[in-house]
Amino acid sequence: MLEIREMRPEDLERVAEIEKKIFSMPWSREGFAESLEQDYTLYLTAVQDGGIIGYCGMSQAFEEAEITNVAVEEKSRGQGTAEKMLRELLRRGEEKGISRYILEVRFGNAAARRLYEKLGFEDVGVRKGFYERPAEDAVIMVKD
Ligand SMILES: CC(C)(COP(=O)(O)OP(=O)(O)OC[C@H]1O[C@@H](n2cnc3c(N)ncnc32)[C@H](O)[C@@H]1OP(=O)(O)O)[C@@H](O)C(=O)NCCC(=O)NCCS
């Protein structure tokens, strides 16, 4: 059974472990911990059979929010986990008065771009050379 709930401090070790496996410039455990403490952020954890398999988070500024993290561990992909997590994030965001979401995604990250499109995000621009390791453009996507 899949449970989507708010991220807790005791999740951070596993979250940082997943992050490190997936991203070339991962957020550290301390980075997540600091972010989690802020009252303008919201982080969710996906838990399946007691184990953390994914997480996502956003940072709010008035009625806008930036989605800062989305990840599902490799072996648990393709089961709708990211979609469920993000739908829950958007639902909770709406309760907080958020009406506009923005995010950046690597140009070549077809899976993530399709995921965001499915959730109603649209491409609004490109940031040339935004990413490092490897260098790549960022697509900026927005959902109003
Ligand atoms: C992107 C990511 C979070 C998707 O997680 P997931 O749990 O496998 O995604 P879901 O099963 O919820 O898929 C939901 C939708 O996303 C899209 N999608 C997901 N994986 C895809 C793939 N490999 N190819 C194309 N579309 C894909 C599809 O539209 C899918 O809907 P569908 O099944 O009806 O076609 C996951 O691949 C991941 O962690 N990638 C590495 C980290 C990353 O890129 N994070 C985003 C950084 S901006």
Distances (CA, A) of 4 to 46, 61, 83, 107: 5, 23, 11, 28
In 3D space, the residue among 80, 15, 16, 24 whose CA is nearest the CA of residue 53 turns out to be 15
Length of the chain, please?
144
Report the side by side order of strands in the sheet with 2-6. 2-6, 41-48, 51-61, 64-72, 100-106, 136-143, 122-131
CA of 137 to the centre of ligand 1 (A): 19
How far apart CA 23 and CA 116 sit, in angstroms, is: 18
Percent of the chain with pLDDT over 90: 100
111 Cβ neighbours under 8 A, 6+ residues apart: 77
Q: What is the CATH number of the domain that holds 104?
A: 3.40.630.30
Q: Which domain holds residue 139?
A: 2-143
Number of domains observed in the structure of the chain:
1
> Ligand 1: which residue has its CA nearest to atom 10?
80
Asked if residue 77 has its Cβ within 6 Å of ligand 1, the reply is yes
Query: What residues are labeled active site?
Result: 104, 116
pLDDT tens-digit series, residues 62-120: 999 999 999 999 999 999 999 999 999 999 999 999 999 999 999 999 999 999 999 99
CA of 116 to the centre of ligand 1 (A): 9
Asked if residue 52 has its Cβ within 6 Å of ligand 1, the reply is no
Banded pLDDT at 134 (limits 50, 70, 90): very high
Position 63 scores a pLDDT of: 98
